[in-house]
Amino acid sequence: MRARWDIFCNVIDNYGDIGVAWRLARTLVCEQRQCVRLWVDDLRAFARIWPAIDAHAEAQIAEGVDIRHWTEPFPDAVPAEVVVEAFGCALPETYLAAMAGQSPPPVWINLEYLSAEVWVSEHHGLPSPHPRLPLTKHFFFPGYTAGTGGLAAESDLGARRDAFQQDNAASFWAQWQLAPPQPDEWRVSLFAYENFALPGLLDAWAGGSEAVTCLVPEGRVIPQLACWLDVPALTPGDVRERGRLRVRVLPFTDQDAYDRLLWACDLNFVRGEDSCVRAQWAARPLVWQAYPQAEQAHHAKLDALLGLYVARLEPAAAQAVTGLWRVWNGMPGAPAVGDAWDAWRAHRQAIDTHARAWPQQLAAAGRLADRLVEFAEKRLK
Ligand code: TRH
């Protein structure tokens, strides 16, 4: 059934909110043949993850999605049949009133943040009546298990990744003026927030026995990296070497090119939710830096995902993954970062094998766009 969707995205900071909303909008159009209008308040952030976006246009079409600049006062707009507010962004009052005037009213969904915590499946799908208007909002939780709203993924994601990885990614490296990796070399991508563990990890790489090429998309971690390298600044294209470590700064690319970086590297450091999921689908080892939250709420999120991720790993390798993830997130009781890296390296083979098999397990959660369409269709009947 082809329905009209309005997706609202308020960009708080960073790229995760628009990253998830854009991925969902594209998939709904391309795979589910839905008719999608995406309202975004910060088109400049949007253009960073999708450079074809014109940051000054009030309305534009990209990838079949009708994109609107979300401005205040909100323009008159007939509400769609399905309304998704991403991450609890408050809908414009005039739009809410227009929703209440529709008969039947739209299916109203609050798309929540992804978490592997167990309470997610208990809260997924719960209704919440509006206090004044004849409208009911539903809480929709993406998640890692079958009773949740699933994970963002395209139906051909695995096939595209496998084709790329079998191709050995040689042409991919050439675009960064890099030869394919040497047998004893690690290619690592580093997408991170500011991080106390970073200097120690860089020290370990520079003083280690294997060559490490660290590819760093421009962003929040760059000033700290420049400080460690003792240079005033770093810009895309810059290459610096210290001991066995070579650092290369990459420009921020579009989402699809970033996927290819994840597919090509031996190990990916990722942050927030969207890059974390993409790194898991990449079938390569990852280290996740959770988005820092008040009262360390992100520590519970980290441990919840770790619990799932390492469950089928042999205990020593599971401990090595846990140690590195926990020190990378500044968690109490974590080992020193140099020790955590040594332990991780010692179990690299098992961790790599596990990462390659992991997407099969992830698939059990189902795909977010499929789950959302099922959810909406049940209520549209
Ligand atoms: O940017 P983030 O830190 O987003 C965060 C979190 O999502 C957090 O939950 C949210 O509350 C906070 O923002 C406001 O990390 P995340 O989620 O990985 O999103 C990054 C997006 O950027 C993702 O869609 C991938 C994309 N990206 C590119 O398109 N090109 C790039 O070069 C890189 C490095 C990332």
Number of H helices, E strands in the chain: 15, 14
Q: Is 113 in the pocket of ligand 1 (CB under 6 A)?
A: yes
Q: What is the pLDDT of residue 349?
A: 98
- Going by DSSP bridges, is the β-strand pair 185-190/136-140 parallel, antiparallel, or unpaired? unpaired
Closest C-alpha to ligand 1, atom 13 = 16
Angle at Cα 118 formed by Cα 114 and Cα 122, nearest 5°?
90
Angle between helix 274-281 and helix 255-264 axes, rounded to 10 deg: 50
Residues 6 or more apart whose Cβ sits within 8 Å of residue 309: 280, 321, 358
Per domain, the residue ranges of the chain are 4-151+366-380, 157-364
Task: Tell me the catalytic residues.
Answer: 17, 273
CA 140/CA 112 separation, integer angstroms: 6
Q: Is 16 in the pocket of ligand 1 (CB under 6 A)?
A: yes
From the first residue on, what is the mean pLDDT of each consecutive set of 10 residues in the chain (381 residues)? 97 95 98 98 98 98 98 97 96 98 97 97 97 97 97 98 88 90 95 98 97 97 98 98 98 97 98 98 98 95 98 98 98 97 98 98 97 97 79
Query: CA separation (Å) from 140 to 123, 148, 165, 254?
Result: 8, 8, 34, 27
Position in ligand 1 atom list of the atom nearest CA 23: 24
Q: Is 19 in the pocket of ligand 1 (CB under 6 A)?
A: yes
State the distance from the centre of ligand 1 to the C-alpha of 321, rounded, in angstroms.
22
- Sequence-ordered strand ranges (E) for the chain: 4-9, 35-40, 59-62, 65-69, 82-86, 107-111, 127-129, 136-140, 185-190, 211-217, 239-242, 245-250, 267-271, 286-289
CA 380/CA 101 separation, integer angstroms: 16
Structure tokens at 247: 């650092």
Q: Is 254 in the pocket of ligand 1 (CB under 6 A)?
A: yes
Q: Is 63 exposed, middle or buried (0-12, 13-18, 19+ CB in 10 A)?
A: middle
CA 205/CA 212 separation, integer angstroms: 6
Which amino acid is located at 52 in the chain?
A: A
Q: What is the pLDDT of residue 355?
A: 98
Cβ–Cβ contacts within 10 Å for residue 318, how many?
Answer: 20
> Is the CATH number 3.40.50.2000 carried by domain 157-364?
yes
Structure tokens at 375: 């959810």
Helix H or strand E encompassing 271: strand 267-271
Q: Which of 9, 10, 11, 15 to mutate to test the pocket of ligand 1 (most atoms within 8 A of CB)?
A: 15
Q: Is 17 in the pocket of ligand 1 (CB under 6 A)?
A: yes
Closest C-alpha to ligand 1, atom 18 = 275
CA 220/CA 104 separation, integer angstroms: 46
In angstroms, the first-to-last Cα distance of the chain is: 10
Q: What is the pLDDT of residue 220?
A: 96
Which amino acid is located at 295 in the chain?
A: E
Closest C-alpha to ligand 1, atom 9 = 272
Position in ligand 1 atom list of the atom nearest CA 254: 29
Q: What is the pLDDT of residue 331?
A: 97
Q: Report the sign of the C-alpha dihedral through residues 272, 273, 275, 277, in that order.
A: positive
Quote the pTM value.
0.98
Q: Is 273 in the pocket of ligand 1 (CB under 6 A)?
A: yes
The phi, psi pair for 41, rounded to 5°, reads: -85, -20
State the distance from the centre of ligand 1 to the C-alpha of 183, rounded, in angstroms.
31
Q: What is the pLDDT of residue 381?
A: 79
Q: Is 181 in the pocket of ligand 1 (CB under 6 A)?
A: no
Do the beta carbons of residue 60 and residue 49 sit within 8 Å?
A: no
Do the beta carbons of residue 248 and residue 181 sit within 8 Å?
A: no
